[in-house]
Each structure stands twice: as C-alpha cells, then as structure tokens.
Amino acid sequence: MVVGGFIPSTAPHRGGLGALLVGAYDADGQLRYCGHVSTGTTHRTRADLVERLTALEQPLTPFTPLAPDVRGARWVRPTVVVDIEYRQFTGKLRHPTLKGVLADADSDAVSLPTQ
C-alpha cells in the first residue's frame, strides 16, 4: 500500500503517529483510499515514519476521489510504500496491520488488491 497521509497522535507511547492513511492505484492510475492502519509497529518505527512523512507533506490529499472525512489528517506525497497484512479487501482494508516499510518499492507499481 502507498501512504497518502497520516493522523498524528499526541500520546507519548504512539511515537507521534496515530494512523497511516493508505491506498493503491486503480487501472486508470488514480490513487484510491483503502483505509487506515494503526497497529503493528514499534514506537521507534512510528517516530521514524512521522519524521519521514513530515518531510513529504503537501496541502492537498493525493487520493481520488477524496478520502472520507479524516479529521486532523496530514497529507503527503505518495512515495512511501508499506507492507500491510489484512484479512479481507472489500474496497477497504479489513483488520489491517502494518508489517513494515518497503524501502526500495516503486509506489507507482502498487495496484488495488482484488476483491
């Protein structure tokens, strides 16, 4: 999945990251919002992601159509790719867990999972 934004957290144990807002590209090349993921990482990984994503911030959402009302979201250039495990994809990820950041992955090559 491609990170298109994040929701910050003020809770000290969360490393500054409440949730990642993720998506994938459809057949027309549009980045579609697939949901948010907030579990599966260590404090250090969260802090590293916040630092990396803050450097990629942009004023507008990269998702088309617009992501649903996500209060407090900070949008980023969609260049960071993450590995997410999930139980089902029904247009949105069901029970997603972050497994890690895929450092060498091409974000443009991330396509929507089949339903």
DSSP string, 47-76: HHHHHHHHTTB-SS---SSPPP--TT-EEB
- Give the pLDDT score at 27: 95
Q: Please count the structural domains in the chain.
A: 1
Tokens of 38: 């907030």
Query: 29 lies in a domain?
Result: yes
- Give the pLDDT score at 20: 96
Query: 115 lies in a domain?
Result: no
Cα(94)–Cα(89) distance, rounded to whole angstroms? 6
Give pLDDT < 50 ranges for the chain. Answer: none
Cα(70)–Cα(6) distance, rounded to whole angstroms? 9
- Give the pLDDT score at 14: 63
- Give the pLDDT score at 10: 75
Query: 26 lies in a domain?
Result: yes
- Give the pLDDT score at 115: 67
- Give the pLDDT score at 15: 64
* Domain assignment of residue 78, given as a range: 2-109
115, 90 Cβ separation under 8 angstroms: yes
Query: 114 lies in a domain?
Result: no
Domain CATH number, residue 79? 2.40.50.140
Cα(85)–Cα(2) distance, rounded to whole angstroms? 13
- Give the pLDDT score at 71: 86
Query: 87 lies in a domain?
Result: yes
Numbers of helices and strands, H then E, in the chain: 1, 8
Cα(88)–Cα(43) distance, rounded to whole angstroms? 26
